[in-house]
A and B are shown apart, each in its own frame.
Chain A
């Protein structure tokens, strides 16, 4: 039975809402398939506005992987802003996909990508608008399977009540496995209903079905244990790891938005994973090991990607792009290939100590010079040792000198505040660093218009990292240190105008902390906050700390736990953590030793990168059956072959 588009009902609302183009679809490279020609249908939700969700690399990859399959349909859906939400509720228009404006409730699977925990309330809005019961337990056979993924899903417990299933790790192969299971289940007449399908998922060992696990608590509020409540369900669920990125060259032809979005470029992931070992970094811990894409595949992807999209910027994406074993060759060869075509290159994530003059030259050779951002994260050398981000002041000064000498007038520096063992002095050291950066820039160029922007926010301890046991720094301490830093930066007239200062207040970080390390009891907090109107919590103009503290007080009343218990409390070795039954491959003892080493009274120990030193036994490769996949390959890109595919400026 065909599913009707809701666009006729939506259309009269569009002239009355902000930026209506984000809701109309029809973008170049978007895919619309006949409903009746397919038997497994996915709606992919990014629980934030289109302008943020559309450029998301994960959704872009899965959208293509799924739509390439015969008989499979995948459409995208995003959070609607409150102005449209109100009109949709008034007129009874359901959550829709932007591709064919089909009601989300009609799909087999609603896949939700969680990059950040602050999207959880937007999940509830989307479910509610879709007519899908908020609680997984209330859903019936006609409702989609609500499936979570993305980095935040490595601790899905706070939203466990709202999700039917969760996949942790790389999605490319997992979505195909799930598609096969759904197809077989539907073809067999949906045996044993919804539970039959979920059991088939769980039996793979790689799909977590929260309702198949019971959580028991101790009288003091800590978790006693998490155990499967039926046979055929594994005690712990494994993450997925894609090996051989060259075999999965996605996205090949990503959607080209008509609306303005946060990243407007063709992004190619040059490697996945990071083993630098920064102790705060969840992404680096849960995506191990490093798997590089080869320079040849990167070249081919950029060629087809630019041709299919018309973008004029190429983003070389990864957790630390300058660490690719052939990054210089990639940058030089791509700049050669696109010489004269006004295609710019950008490295969105660059380590201070891996940036070099070659990269500086190649990033600025063609097209527009993109911004340069480095993340020392800690202001003092001592702090950077605690977090195992072994970047020295000399590294930073050398790097910014290179950048300023190569024509950049501004660099951005990212820091965190509230790290374990941090004192006021560690944060005030950021001001000294920023001044030295500006001084180095002035000395290198002889110019006065050198700028350095300091961006700093509160640190949130994350699951599956050595800091998962740490006490989060209270918001008032973070705010106090940030105000002192601001005063120190503004107080010096010699540098006052050259140093920009951007900071994020501590309170949103507390809620992010609650949602990051929470357990299933936090689900009721999310529900209470959402019922009270919480939406778009990642957006300053919508976030309300008072609403969240009220929701905590209401939903956690009568329990031994509260907001502080989840956030500012240090955990000990023996405590069962809410995500212990989700296996990212990291050896728990290794994480614990690394945590103790970070805060050792005699000074933090250093962990080196296993790409260049012997294995330091984090446990991932043996547990997951994976291996480091790095070059160099020795291959080069042929500029003469690539050049004709793009318009040139006539030279």
Chain B
């Protein structure tokens, strides 16, 4: 139950969990860009979105930490509150018709659990590197995994932050060659715990470069494949 902003009348909201992807060109959208797109998307879709109370009401949409700008994802999450019940699959279809291509809703489920940090504790990433052969990558990865710590620094909005990339990495493997790369490339797969400050796949790459400078400074493509809780055999989908 929440309270409507205009009369104190109690309203029962329907809470939905939305899993969505950030694909192709839309991977260059920032977290705020995606949030604006969803706010307009729910309006275009004509969904009965709930608004917060107060002087400047905001649509009730909350976002789990988004993939960084430039990083694609198949596993982003948000939750939204509707003032009346709309079937989950209809919400998915209406949103997809209303959002830009590349911000694609994959699944909608009724779920009032919200998005606390405890539900999303790790992510699985696929990282494509060009100019590095898989056979060169394997020993570098092995050396990294043997480290007890791998300190890296990144400039954030809060200043230069120092973090341990090794501690955050639950698993890291060389998946194989990048078939799309004529010049030779490697695909890495990694499971990274959600920490504060967050260790991102490019932080792990920096740590790999500290092991060997043959690791390229920029990745060709990074995709978040899965997000959820950390289980025995990897990330368990939320």
| Contact status A310-B98, CB under 8 Å | yes
Contact of A21 among B28, B49, B218 (CB under 8 A): B28
Bound Cα distance from A19 to B37, whole angstroms: 16
Select from chain A the residue with minimum beta-carbon distance to B40: A310
B48 near A648 with CB under 8 A, answer yes
Q: A24 touching B46 by the CB < 8 A rule?
A: no
In the bound assembly, the distance between CA atoms of A645 and B43 in angstroms comes to: 10
Complex CA distance for A307 and B44, rounded to whole angstroms: 6
- CA A369 to CA B50, docked complex, whole Å: 19
Task: Judge whether A647 and B40 touch: CB under 8 Å.
Answer: no
Are the CB atoms of B5 and A649 closer together than 8 Å?
Answer: yes
Nearest neighbor of B32 in chain A, beta-carbon distance: A260
**Does chain B have a CB within 8 A of A496?**
no
Task: Judge whether B171 is part of the interface by a CB distance below 8 angstroms.
Answer: no
Is the CB of B199 closer than 8 A to any CB of chain A?
A: no
The verdict on B57 contacting chain A, using a C-beta distance below 8 Å, is yes
A344–B220 Cα distance when bound, in Å, is: 42
* Interface check A61, CB cutoff 8 A: no
CB pair B37–A258 under 8 Å, yes or no, is yes
Interface residues of B in 91-138 (CB under 8 A from A): 98-102
| Interface 1/0 per residue, A28-57 and B, CB below 8 Å | 100000000000000000000000000000
A311 and B43 alpha carbons, distance in the complex (Å): 8
Least CB separation from A19: chain B residue: B30
Residue A651 at the B interface, CB < 8 A? yes
* Per-position 1/0 for B67-102, Cβ under 8 A of A: 001100000000000011000000000000011111
Chain B residues, CB < 8 A from A312: 39-40, 43
B7 at the interface (CB under 8 A from A): yes
| A647 surroundings in chain B (CB, below 8 A) | 42-43, 46-49
B-chain residues with CB within 8 Å of residue A309 when the two chains form the complex: 40, 44
- Min CB distance, B115 to chain A, in Å? 22
From known contacts A28-B99, A310-B44, A310-B98, infer whether A649 and B83 are also in contact, taking CB-CB under 8 Å: yes
Query: Are B29's CB and A650's CB within 8 A?
Result: no
Give the contacting residue for A649; candidates B36, B56, B57, B98; CB below 8 A: B57
Verify if A561 is at the interface (C-beta below 8 Å from B).
no
CB-defined contacts of A25 to chain B, threshold 8 Å: 25
> With A16-B218, A26-B102, A27-B100 as given contacts, are A21 and B44 in contact (CB-CB < 8 Å)?
no
In Å, the complex CA distance between A312 and B38 comes to 12
Point out the residue from A15, A24, A311 that lies within 8 Å of B26, measured CB to CB.
Answer: A24
B176 contacts the other chain (CB 8 A): no
For chain B, residues 4 to 43, give those with C-beta under 8 angstroms from any C-beta of chain A. Answer: 4-7, 9, 11, 24-26, 28-30, 32-33, 36-37, 39-43
CB of A28 within 8 A of CB of B100, answer yes
The smallest C-beta distance from B35 to any residue of chain A, in angstroms, reads 11
**Of B33, B39, B57, the contact of A258 (CB 8 Å cutoff):** B33
Q: Which of A243-272 contact B (CB under 8 A)?
A: 256, 258-260, 264
Q: List, in ascending order, chain A residues with CB within 8 A of B218's CB.
A: 15-16
What separation, in Å, do the CA atoms of A25 and B28 have in the docked complex?
11
In the bound complex, residues from chain A placing their C-beta under 8 Å from that of B50 are 649-650
Q: How many chain A residues have a CB neighbour from B under 8 Å? A: 38
Q: Is B51 interfacial (CB 8 A cutoff)?
A: yes
Complex-state Cα separation, A309 to B100, whole angstroms:
11
Residue among A24, A260, A645 with the most chain B CB within 10 A?
A24
Q: Which of A14, A311, A369, A646 contacts B46 (CB 8 A)?
A: A646
A340 touches B56 (CB 8 A): no
Q: Shortest Cβ distance from A195 into chain B, in angstroms?
A: 40
Assess whether B26 is in contact with A650, with CB atoms less than 8 Å apart: no
Contact B57 A310 (CB under 8 A): no
Beta-carbon contact of A14 and B70 below 8 Å: yes
1-31 of chain A: CB within 8 A of chain B: 7, 12, 14-16, 19-21, 23-28
A645 CA to B99 CA, complexed, in Å: 17
Q: Which A residues are CB-close (under 8 A) to B25?
A: 7, 24-26
Q: Which of A28, A368, A646 is the most central at the interface, judged by chain B CB atoms within 10 Å of its CB?
A: A28
- Does A597 make an interface contact (CB < 8 A)? no
Contact B29 A649 (CB under 8 A): no
The answer to the question of A342 belonging to the interface, with a C-beta cut-off of 8 Å to chain B, is: yes
Q: Which residue of chain A lies nearest to B11 when distances are taken between CB atoms in the complex?
A: A650
Contact with A along B180-210 (1 / 0, CB 8 A): 0000000000000000000000000000000
| Interface flags, A219-260, vs B, CB<8A=1, else 0 | 000000000000000000000000000000000000010111
Closest residue of B by beta carbon distance from A256? B40
User: Quick one: which of A322-346 are within 8 Å of B by CB?
Assistant: 340, 342
Q: How far is the CA of A526 from the CA of B101 in the complex (A)?
A: 41
Q: Which residue of B lies closest to A311 (CB)?
A: B40
Evaluate whether A649 and B99 lie within 8 angstroms (CB atoms) in the complex, with A26-B25, A309-B40 already known: no
Q: Taking the nearest CB of chain A, how far is it from the CB of B11, in angstroms?
A: 5
Residues in A with CB closer than 8 Å to B46 are 307, 645-647
Q: How far is the CA of A645 from the CA of B56 in the complex (A)?
A: 22
Q: Are B101 and A26 in contact (CB under 8 A)?
A: yes
**Residues on the A chain within 8 Å of B11, using CB:** 650
- Contact partners of B83 in chain A: CB under 8 A: 648-650
User: Do residues A14 and B28 form an inter-chain contact, with CB atoms below 8 A?
Assistant: yes
Is A524 among interface residues, defined by CB-CB distance under 8 A?
no
Partner of A650, one of B30, B37, B84, B102: B84
> Nearest-CB distance from B46 to chain A (Å)?
6
Q: Closest CB of chain A to B233's CB: distance in Å? A: 32
0/1 interface trace, chain A 608-651, chain B, CB 8 Å (1 if under): 00000000000000000000000000000000000001111111
Chain A neighbourhood of B9, CB < 8 A: 651
Q: Is A445 an interface residue (CB 8 A)?
A: no
Q: Is the CB of A24 within 8 A of B28?
A: yes
Query: A310 vs B70: C-alpha distance in the bound complex, in angstroms?
Result: 25
Residues of B contacting A646 in the complex (Cβ-Cβ under 8 angstroms):
43, 46
Residues of chain B having any CB pair with chain A under 8 Å: 4-7, 9, 11, 24-26, 28-30, 32-33, 36-37, 39-51, 56-57, 59, 69-70, 83-84, 98-102, 218, 220
A312-B39, A368-B56, A649-B4 are known; give 6 further A-B pairs, CB within 8 A: A20-B70, A26-B26, A312-B43, A647-B42, A649-B51, A649-B57
10 CB contacts below 8 A, A to B, read A20-B28, A28-B40, A256-B100, A311-B40, A311-B43, A645-B46, A647-B42, A649-B6, A649-B51, A650-B83
Q: Which 5 A-B pairs have the closest CB atoms?
A: A310-B40, A650-B83, A310-B44, A310-B43, A24-B25
